[in-house]
């Protein structure tokens, strides 16, 4: 009788896939982004806008994505835009 490779189990769960170099965004910000930003396109990854996210695109988003100023501040921080003004 042949012994089948029944014990061939994948032992490494893919749990530790987070990039280590980048500081994690606030958990509330991640939740907010997942809830609010995934409806029209993929949720942008955290810290993906280090150089800023300014101009027409932000204005469009502020009109289309209904969020409070505090929530926008969270999102901006999540994107890595620490210098962003939560204008008006």
Q: Which is nearer to ligand HEC, 6 or 67 (CB)?
A: 67
Write down the least CB distance from residue 52 to ligand HEC, Å.
Answer: 9
- Which of 8, 64, 68, 87 is the binder for ligand HEC (CB under 6 A)? 64
Q: Which is nearer to ligand HEC, 12 or 87 (CB)?
A: 87
Rounded-to-integer distance, Cα 44 and Cα 25, Å? 13
Over the range 16-49, which residues count as b (16 or more CB within 10 Å of their CB) and which as e? eeeeeeeeebeeebeebbeebbeeeeeebebbeb
Write down the least CB distance from residue 3 to ligand HEC, Å.
Answer: 53
């Amino acid at each position: 009788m042949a012994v089948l490779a029944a014990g061939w189990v994948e032992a490494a769960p893919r749990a530790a896939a987070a990039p280590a170099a980048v500081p994690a965004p606030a958990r509330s910000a991640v939740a907010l982004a997942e809830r609010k930003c995934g409806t029209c396109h993929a949720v942008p990854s955290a810290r993906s806008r280090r150089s800023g996210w300014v101009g027409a695109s932000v204005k469009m988003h502020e009109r289309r994505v209904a969020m409070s100023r505090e929530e926008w501040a969270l999102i901006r921080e999540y994107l890595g835009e620490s210098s962003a003004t939560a204008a008006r």
